[in-house]
Each structure stands twice: as structure tokens, then as C-alpha cells.
Amino acid sequence: MPWTVPDDLLSSSEHWASPEFRDELTAWVTEQVGEPRAMQQVKLRSWSTVWRVETDDGVFYAKQNCPLQNFEAALLAELRILAPDDIVPVTAVDTTRGFLLTPDQGPVIAQGDEATNLRVWRDLVVAAFRLQRAVAPDVAGLVTRVGLTRMPLERAEEYAADRVEALAALPAHDPRRLDPEIAIRLRRHLPTVGRWAEEVAALGLPLTLNHNDLHENNAFDTPTGLRFFDFGDTVVSHPLEVLLIPLNIVGGDLDGGPGDPRVLAVADAALEVWSDLAPMRDLRAALPAALQLGRLARTESWLRCLPSMNPAERAEFGGTAATWLATLTEDAPARF
């Protein structure tokens, strides 16, 4: 059956702004860490809310995601067993409601001069790939237990085709709609998506965890190493796809093209982590195709956020999924 745009849900942000939600969250937090001295909502978006919680035992952060991404709490509960040193400590989770409570980890990764930033990016992507390798043996279990979206390579062309048709068919006034001219261009591009998938599949690497929003503001540099958080956009996909966001940002910050040596040095550091399973020359050759397929993962996470938006939020963010889909015809951010 062809894919269809998910049905609208109640506005998450309006619910999270209500006194009823504050009371519900406060009661849960009190059960976990005692009655808070103060609770402040520090993030309110259509896709998630975060509250800063002050207690006698320190500061914590409480989070809930929109319904189609509220698996994050269950995922962190699993990852604290599979890879406890690679994620933020988890104080408590409620997997039914998707509540997540974590202790304050201080500031996110610091920024500095160009040399410092490139080192930070190399450390970040290497740590992310090591997390992928730690999780890969049990990724099928994660899909079953947590409900993660699985994006196999053999379905990449079908996935893209279904989203093109569904988003292009929306009414002209709908901000989620894919522009008809872009849809025509993407339909012509679908065989290329299939070829990318075949090229990447030839590497023989396993599907694994794709954070899908990997950047310096989603990791802490702790005395014991980098720790990741904010897994609401996560999918299960080919490991190299996770480099799309980091290499996009690095190239943009440096005003460097796909062949910029500084961008490629960051990519190389990550590829080394998988080089015992596939030769570096093959990993480098397939990287552009994998990065392009990563655009489908970004499309997927935005599609999961759309149903929970109110009209104002949809007017602002409703076109983001279609925009990511349209970038399939753009150049990859890195090419050796």
C-alpha cells in the first residue's frame, strides 16, 4: 500500500504549555527525585519540550517528545545498557508517556578557533561511529523493543517515490506540499537513488543507529569522553548516513566545497572506525552516495514531527520535510 501523510494529532506544544501538563510532569519528577525546588520550561517546540528541574540533590532536565518521536525515553533506557559510556546518564524514564529525566551535564561541546573546531568534529564523528558499532549487534532488538524506524537500503528508491507522490498530492495551500516542479525533477532522479543504495549496500556494513541530528550542540565533552543526547530524530539506517549533518555544518562553517581537505579529514576520521569491515578506498568512494541517502532519514524525522504541529507551527516548519526531500538533487557535502 502506498505511503500516505500521517493524520493530524493534537498540538503537542499547546498541551505542553498547559497547567495540566506541568502538574503531570511535576508529579512524575517528584516520584523520581523528590519535590523540586523549581521547574522551568526551557524549550517548547512542536516536536519536544524540556524542563530544567532544581532539587536538593542537583539539577536535572525532564523531556518529552511529540507522539511519533516519543520513543527517545525507551531508546535511552536501552542505550544505557548497550553503551552506557556514550550517552548522557539516565536518571529515570517512563516509556509509556515518553518521559525522560537526565542529570545536568554542564555546557555542550565548546567552540574555539578553526583548529580546535576541526578536532572537536573529528572526535564527535569518531565517537558517534563507535556508538554505532556498539549498538549494531542488537539493532534488530532495538527496532522491536523501541519501535525505531528502519530504513533499509533496498527500499530507498521506493521510500523516496512514495514521499514524492504523497507530498506532491497535498492541496496547493498546504505548507507541507512538495512543489510540482520539484516533484517532476525528483521523479526523474529516482533511478539515481536506487543506484546510490546499491553502491552503499556493496560495502557490506550493517544497518545501525543513526542519530540523524549529530552536531556539537547534541553532545557533552565530559571527563570520561563524549556523551550524546537528543535522540528524538533517530532512525536505523546505513552507518555512513549519520555524517550528513556534521559534514554539512563543517563545510558551511569553513566555506569549503565537497573536496575541501579539512572536510575530508573529518570524514576520514570517522571512516577509519569501519575500515576493518570495508577498505578505506571503498568507504571513501561510497561516502557521497551514503550522504545523499541520509537526506531521506532527515525527511523521515520531519515527517514524524508534522502531525503534532498547530497551524502557526505548520506555517513555519511544515515545508521542512519536502525541503529535505528536494535536496536529493543537490551535491553531497563531501567527495574524495
**Residue 99 is part of a domain; what is its CATH number?**
3.30.200.20
Asked whether residue 336 is domain-assigned, the answer is: no
66 and 173 belong to one structural domain:
no
Instruction: For residue 219, give the CATH number of its domain.
Output: 3.90.1200.10
| pLDDT per position as a tens digit, 218-255 | 999 988 889 999 999 999 999 999 999 999 999 999 99
Question: Domain check: are 99 and 138 in the same one?
Answer: no
Q: Is the pLDDT of residue 116 over 80?
A: no
Query: Do 141 and 249 have their domain in common?
Result: yes
pLDDT at 144: 96
pLDDT interval class at 110 (50, 70, 90): confident
- pLDDT above 90 as % of the chain: 94
Q: Are residues 247 and 293 in the same domain?
A: yes
Per-residue pLDDT at 153: 98
Which of 89-93, 109-113, 204-208, 297-301 is predicted with the least confidence, judged by mean pLDDT?
Answer: 109-113
**301 and 323 part of one domain:** yes
Strand ranges, E, within the chain: 38-44, 48-55, 58-65, 92-94, 99-103, 208-210, 219-222, 225-228, 235-237
Picking from 47, 77, 103, the residue at the C-terminal end of a domain is 103
Q: How many structural domains compose the chain? A: 2
Residues 243 and 141 in one domain: yes
pLDDT of residue 71: 98
Whether 268 is covered by a domain: the verdict is yes
Query: Looking at the predicted structure, is the pLDDT value of residue 105 above 80?
Result: yes
Cα separation, 240 vs 81, whole angstroms? 24
- 215 within some domain: yes
State whether 205 and 255 are in the same domain: yes
**23: Cα within 13 Å, side-chain hemisphere:** 3
pLDDT of residue 115: 66
Query: Is 100:82 a contact under the CB 8 Å cutoff?
Result: no
Confidence (pLDDT) at 114: 75
Do the domain assignments include residue 4?
A: no
Are 98 and 128 found together in one domain? Answer: no
Give the model confidence (pLDDT) of 246-287 as tens digits: 999 999 999 989 999 999 999 999 999 999 999 999 999 999
Tell me which of 80, 103, 126 is where a domain ends. 103
Residue 5 lies in a domain: no
Whether 334 maps to a domain, the answer reads no
Could you tell me where the beta strands, DSSP code E, fall in 89-218?
92-94, 99-103, 208-210
Task: Give 6-27 pLDDT, tens digit per residue.
Answer: 999 999 999 999 999 999 999 9
Is the per-residue pLDDT at 156 higher than 90?
Answer: yes
Tell whether the model's pLDDT for residue 120 goes beyond 70: yes
Residues 155 and 180 in one domain: yes
Burial of 229 (0-12, 13-18, 19+ CB in 10 A): buried
pLDDT at 224: 87
**Is the same domain home to 215 and 265?**
yes
**CA distances (Å), origin 1, targets 159, 162, 165, 267:** 12, 10, 13, 38
pLDDT tens-digit profile of 202-211?
Answer: 999 999 999 9
Q: 162 and 119 in one domain?
A: yes
Residue 43 burial (CB count, 10 A) = 13
- State the Cα–Cα distance between residues 134 and 126, nearest whole angstrom: 12
Do both 96 and 187 map to the same domain? no
pLDDT at residue 2, as a whole number: 83
pLDDT digits (tens, 9 = 90+) for 162-176: 999 999 999 999 999
Per-residue pLDDT of 32-77, as tens digits, reads 999 999 999 999 999 999 999 999 999 999 999 999 999 999 999 9
Domain with 46 in it: 12-103
Domain termination site, one of 103, 138, 171? 103
Q: Using CA atoms, how far apart are residues 226 and 117, in angstroms rounded to an integer? A: 15
Examine residue 309 and state whether it is found in any structural domain, yes or no. yes
- Does residue 311 lie within any of the structural domains? yes
Q: Which helix or strand (DSSP H or E) is residue 234 part of?
A: none
Cell digits for 124?
Answer: 564527535
